[in-house]
Every structure is written in C-alpha cells, then in structure tokens.
Amino acid sequence: MDDWYSAIATESDLPPDAARLLRDVGFVVMPGPEIPGGWARLSQAYDRAVLTADPSDVSIRSSTRVHDFVNRGPEFDGLYVYRPVLAACCRIIGRPFKLSTMLARTLEPGAPAQPLHVDVKRGADGWPLVGFIVMVDEFDAENGATRFVPGSHLLPSDPNEWMEDATDDAYEEQVLACGPAGSIIIFNGSVWHGHTANRSNRRRRSVQGAYIPREARAAIDQASRMRPETIERIGDLAKYVLDIG
C-alpha cells in the first residue's frame, strides 16, 4: 500500500449509518461538499462549462454528457476529493485507487428511462468501482431521479440476466434516490441502477464521477488532458487521486 492511500484510509471516514447503507444497500444519499460561492455559483459554472464545451467532449444518449469536468473550473475541484467519497473507495475498492472519469450529465424534459445496469462487470478491468452523483438540481420522482435496486451489488449477475426488460421504469424492487440540490449519491458500481424518465418540464443536472483500482485503465487519461491552470490550483491530494503525479 502506498503512503497516500494509507493516509486517505486513516483520515477519511463515513458516518456509521452511511457506511452501513453503502455496505448493505449499495448506495447512500447524503449532504454534498461545501462549494466556494455556494451552489448557485456551481449551477452557473455548470451551465457555462456545458455551453462552451468542445463538441468532442459531448455525447448525447438518454442524457447529454459533457466529459472532463476536472478541468472545467475551481467550482468542481472539491467534488472528487470529498472525504466521504474517498472513504467509500477505501471500503469498496480496498486498495490504491484513482478517478476514472468525471462528467456533467443533463437529463432533458421528456428523456426516457435508462435501463438498469451495473457500471462494470464483476471481475472485469476496473472492478470494483465506486461512483458518485452530485445533484446540481433537486432529484425527485418526476424529473428522472436515479433508481437503485437495494442489495443487488451482492448478486453475482447483472440485470439482463435476471429481468425480462431492464428498461422497466416501474421495477417493483427499485427505490429512487431523491434529494435537494447539493446532495450527493455515493454508490457501489455493482449495484443495479439507472435514471428514471424525466416526466417534468425541468432539466435535471448532475455531476458524476467514478473511481477504479489504480492499476486499471481509466476511461479518461487525465494526465494527457490536464490544463496548466488546473494543475496550478489543485493540491497534492487531488493530483494523487487523478494519478498525474
């Protein structure tokens, strides 16, 4: 174990109830980090970053994704080093880890439900995986809140092997992860999850990220993309988590 990982494991912790939910249920919703200037500033920074993103960083599926949010501004620097998330990585990954990706995700009004899925198959490169979703907007039952199947991270298979239709937006065992803007979902990447349909007339915005074992291949080669101004403003912990040192 390297010194940075040992320090993170010693200095980072989850509240007992959150740790229990993460272990037994597979996810937890809790207050997110404090943002310099407050959440209104983060909301503005989010919209500015999405509007000015290079088209090569944008992908549109059931939602609009804008990649590489590590480099989008200081408002986002505290998200991927939030101590409860790092503590979750120590518990679930259990060895040195790194950030694989961090992106913006906007669910437009009328967007359909996403199929239930796992983020990485058990035993594959990049497993175990820890994910987080920061709610830039409130998540509720109408605007496409993420749904989870409690305890499914303990099963040996993924949804397609158990369900006739993984897109079923009313699967009886699912629960919605709802919360006010500023909340964060921390989850085991093996738990079945996916966003529900956005039946409202509101956008549903979030920033999400994923961590994987340090030796695994990251979705984004962060070292090749770091902007000089980002490197200058972030600290040593962030550089370790990004694996750019």
Count of alpha carbons within 13 angstroms of residue 5, beta-carbon side? 14
Label residue 123 exposed, middle or buried (CB < 10 Å: 0-12, 13-18, 19+).
Answer: exposed
Torsion sign across C-alpha atoms 165, 169, 173, 174: positive
C-alpha–C-alpha distance, residues 39 and 57, integer Å: 24
Q: How confident is the model at residue 197 (pLDDT cuts 50, 70, 90)?
A: very high
CATH for 3-242, among 3.40.50.970, 2.60.120.620, 3.40.140.10, 3.90.1150.10?
2.60.120.620
pTM metric for this prediction: 0.95
Lowest mean pLDDT among 80-89, 124-133, 217-226: 217-226
Q: Is the pLDDT of residue 1 over 60?
A: no
Q: Is the pLDDT of residue 170 over 90?
A: no
Please, which residues have CB within 8 angstroms of residue 196's CB and are 6 or more apart in sequence? 113, 114, 141, 144, 145, 146, 147, 169, 176
What confidence score (pLDDT) does residue 159 get? 87
